[in-house]
Amino acid sequence: MRLRLSHPAVALVTVVLLAAPRAEAYCRTTTSTVPPDYDPSISGCWNYGLPLYWANACVSYDIQENASRQVPYALAAEDIAIAFSQWTSTTCADGSEGSGRVSIDVRDFGPVACNKVEYNQYGPNQHAIIFRDTGWPYHDSSNTLALTTVTYDKTTGEIYDADMEINTTQPLSTTPTVDPGGFDFLSIVTHETGHFLGMAHSTDTHATMYAHYTPGDEVMRTLTEDDVSGICSIYAPDGLRHVAKAASPSGVLPEEACDPTPRHGFTPECIMSSAPSTSSCAAAPPGRAGDPRSVAGLLAAAALATVRRRRATRGSVRRAG
């Protein structure tokens, strides 16, 4: 028997198929910060903003010279290479973008002296992986084990820079078999390298990019099918980057030929830019970007705006009265 579908029925089936949730749970980081009251496990990926991506086929990273007492340089270099290779050696299933290895690769540029997370808008950079042995410089009682900072162009979603910090004031497990209850260094850096490449947290509880780890576990060292789908969705085997329409009307961009040099060149040293101050406060002395005095200017301007707003409010009340 042949089933004939009326137009409305066809439309309904089409709508249902289009609306069906995709099987994958991976998410991409976007230029729009996820609000704290948005729960991706209920509402799906946060799809506002533009998805992030590295435009070049090759990206470099560098490891802080001397690394850590806990994780000596040679061990750090070995484990971080393994972590990155989990992502860059991924083979994508045969899809519309073809099959084969993902179109992103990494290069270890070796040890760097710089131990600061920074992006230099006007000069050379490094994508540093930094170890904090003597103090964790954040407001979190040292409970953060690793942080990856990603700098991007908010008009396109292109990633310009990424740096990673490892909190080695906490005991980390670096053995092939994870200590029971231990925080596995290789699992942590495999997860963080996913962020480095533009992945956000997955809602798949088994994925490396899932937002919860179980101490003593080493399953995060290996990508799941969901992680693979995620990285393949950004860096397709055919060399195309899937981007927002704002970056390319077709929604894709061809990869740039392999050049792992960071934006504006490479330097192993920390070098701050000499950009003009962003301060708009006349009371603040001129300073370069990053100069705390420019902070004073901006905050003073904000405080002044507050005072003016209050005066205006009082004034309007008087007028109204």
Partner 1 sequence: MRHRSVALALVVCLAAASLPGRPASASTSIALPLEALVTDSAAAVVATPITQVALWEGGRIVTYTQSHVDAVVAGSALGDEVWVRTFGGEVGNLGQSVEGEPVFTVGRPCLVFLRHASVLAEGPAEELPGIYAVTGRAQGQFPVVSDAAGQIRVIKSSGVGALMVPKGAAMPLLAGDALHGLRLADAKDAVARTWSRGHAP
CB 93, min distance to partner 1, A: 26
Among 66, 248, 261, 278, binds partner 1 (CB under 8 A): 278
3-class secondary-structure state, position 236: coil
Q: Look up tokens 């750090």; give the residue.
A: 76
146-175 positions binding partner 1, by CB under 8 A: 146-155, 160, 163, 165, 170
Is 125 or 240 the residue whose CB approaches partner 1 more closely?
Answer: 125
Q: Which two tokens stand for residue 181?
A: 């209850």
187-226 positions binding partner 1, by CB under 8 A: 188, 191-192, 195-196, 200-201, 210-216
Q: Residue 55 — φ and ψ, nearest 5°?
A: -75, -35
CB 205, min distance to partner 1, A: 12
Q: Are 20 and 37 in contact (CB under 8 A)?
A: no
Q: Which two tokens stand for residue 283?
A: 């009371």
Is 97 or 163 the residue whose CB approaches partner 1 more closely?
Answer: 163
CB 167, min distance to partner 1, A: 9
CA angle 276, 281, 282 (to 5 degrees): 95
Cα distance between residue 289 and residue 195, in whole Å: 27
CB 201, min distance to partner 1, A: 7
Residue 55 contacts partner 1 per CB under 8 A: no
108-137 positions binding partner 1, by CB under 8 A: 116-121, 132, 134-135, 137
Among 110, 302, 312, 316, binds partner 1 (CB under 8 A): 302
Residue 299 contacts partner 1 per CB under 8 A: yes
Q: Are 209 and 197 in contact (CB under 8 A)?
A: no
DSSP one-letter code for 219: G
CA proximity to 62, closest of 126, 148, 151? 126
Is 95 or 181 the residue whose CB approaches partner 1 more closely?
Answer: 181
Is 88 or 294 the residue whose CB approaches partner 1 more closely?
Answer: 294
Amino acid at residue number 42 = I
Q: Look up tokens 């899809």; give the residue.
A: 95
Q: Are 69 and 239 in contact (CB under 8 A)?
A: no
Is 162 or 240 the residue whose CB approaches partner 1 more closely?
Answer: 162
CB 287, min distance to partner 1, A: 10
Cα distance between residue 166 and residue 116, in whole Å: 12
Site string for partner 1, 35-54 (x = CB under 8 A): xxxxxx-----------x--
